[in-house]
């Protein structure tokens, strides 16, 4: 293998590594966005409702809502 072939090979490997890095960063950004959405729009309201149920002394509703949040965190559909 000539020096030029080695350089071309290494450059190609560098390009592939950069593409993999960009793809990984995009996937991480997407996962963060999904997590933030779940926390802000699904989990927080459910926990707020559970706290309200505790405050008005309806513990069975609070427990049901907390279990629902735990199912969301486990990735199950309720």
Give the pLDDT of residue 27. Answer: 85
SS3 state of residue 58: coil
pLDDT number for residue 78:
45
**What's the confidence (pLDDT) of residue 55?**
84
Residue 5 · residue 31 · CB < 8 Å: no
Supply the DSSP symbol for 76: -
- Record the pTM: 0.50
Cα separation, 29 vs 26, in Å, equals: 5
Grouped pLDDT means (10 residues each) for the chain, 78 residues: 86 90 86 86 84 84 86 69
| Tokens read off for 45 | 């309201």
Instruction: State the pLDDT at residue 30.
Output: 87
């Amino acid at each position: 293998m000539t020096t030029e072939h080695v350089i071309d090979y290494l450059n190609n490997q560098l390009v592939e590594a950069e593409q993999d890095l960009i793809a990984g960063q995009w996937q991480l950004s997407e996962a963060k966005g999904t997590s933030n959405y779940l926390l802000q729009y699904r989990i927080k309201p459910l926990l707020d409702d559970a706290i309200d149920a505790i405050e008005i002394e309806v513990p069975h509703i609070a427990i049901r809502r907390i279990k629902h949040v735990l199912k969301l965190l486990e990735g199950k559909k309720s």
